[in-house]
Amino acid sequence: MPAHAVVGVHSCVGLRVLWLAGVHYAVLSGHQVFHRLSGLLYAIGPVDQELIMAKPVQAFSLSESLLRAFDTNDRINQYLVESLPAEAWRAPTPDGKGRTIAAIVAHMHNVRRMWLKAVAEESKIPEQLDRTSVTPAHAAKALERSREALRAVLKAALETDGRVKGFRPDVSGFFGYLIAHDAHHRGQICMLARQVGHALPQKAMFGMWEWGTRGKV
């Protein structure tokens, strides 16, 4: 059989569905196959011959996908900072205690910096942000620098043994930790902005969840 041999056949809603290298193909007739993912139509010989001429599908790279997700997560951070009403940045908390939004964003970057010092002390460590003087523009640049430095750490671990110095269990856990930490504080920022009377626009509240849009460079 050829390289693109059929590995499974199933009948579904009047159509015969083929599994070809993990991808579904629906047989529309004895001589046509519809590629459900790409929308391409392929002419083939009789289905009973179990032969199909298909366009090769590029292999999925989990490592590259994880790195893109990490990049997208930081673009959401940037989108949040850009979308915040200016009045919310240094507005005192309702009870006068705890971090302002400016201080929370500084903390997000500074925690990344802490991890870089622990797991990649030989790398170029970004400067720490001062919670009392940081501006949105300064914070955005700092977040980009810490993202870039951590991305290099993650990429190196993915390309080797999957370990991250000083973090257990492995690089996948480190991905989860970093994204969860950012997401936790994004939630705090959204709540605090509303509490101080300068809520994020509804468009931004929904926009932070649009990973497909935020993931575009």
pLDDT tens readout for residues 29-88: 444 444 444 544 444 444 444 444 556 788 999 999 999 999 999 999 999 999 999 999
User: Do 89 and 27 fall within a single domain?
Assistant: no
DSSP-derived secondary structure for the chain: --TT---EEEEETTEEEEEETTEEEEEEETTEEEETTT--EEE-S-GGG-----PPPPPP-HHHHHHHHHHHHHHHHHHHHHHS-GGGTTPPPTTS-S--HHHHHHHHHHHHHHHHHHH-TTS-PPPPPPTTT--HHHHHHHHHHHHHHHHHHHHHHHTTTS-BTTBSS-HHHHHHHHHHHHHHHHHHHHHHHHHTT-PPPHHHHHHTT-HHHHT--
User: Do 29 and 126 fall within a single domain?
Assistant: no
User: Do 17 and 90 fall within a single domain?
Assistant: no
Residue 54 lies in a domain: no
With a cut of 50, say whether residue 184 has pLDDT above it: yes
User: Do 44 and 70 fall within a single domain?
Assistant: no
User: Do 71 and 22 fall within a single domain?
Assistant: no
Q: Model pTM?
A: 0.74
User: Do 196 and 114 fall within a single domain?
Assistant: yes
Q: What is the tens place of the pLDDT at every residue in 148-181? A: 999 999 999 999 999 999 999 999 999 999 999 9
Residue 55 lies in a domain: no
Out of 1-15, 56-70, 78-92, 110-124, least confident range: 1-15
Three-state secondary structure readout of 61-74:
CHHHHHHHHHHHHH
* Total number of domains constituting the chain: 2
Average pLDDT of the chain, as a whole number: 83
At residue 41, φ and ψ (nearest 5 deg) are -110, 130
Residue 139 lies in a domain: yes
Provide the residue range defining the domain that includes 34: 8-49
Residue 125 lies in a domain: yes
Residue 1 lies in a domain: no
Residue 56 lies in a domain: no
Residue 209 lies in a domain: yes
- Identify the CATH number of the domain in which residue 201 sits: 1.20.120.450
Q: How do strand 41-43 and strand 15-20 relate by DSSP bridges?
A: unpaired
User: Do 107 and 208 fall within a single domain?
Assistant: yes
User: Do 105 and 201 fall within a single domain?
Assistant: yes
User: Do 27 and 75 fall within a single domain?
Assistant: no
User: Do 45 and 98 fall within a single domain?
Assistant: no
User: Do 76 and 181 fall within a single domain?
Assistant: yes
User: Do 74 and 169 fall within a single domain?
Assistant: yes
For residue 56, the model assigns a pLDDT of 75
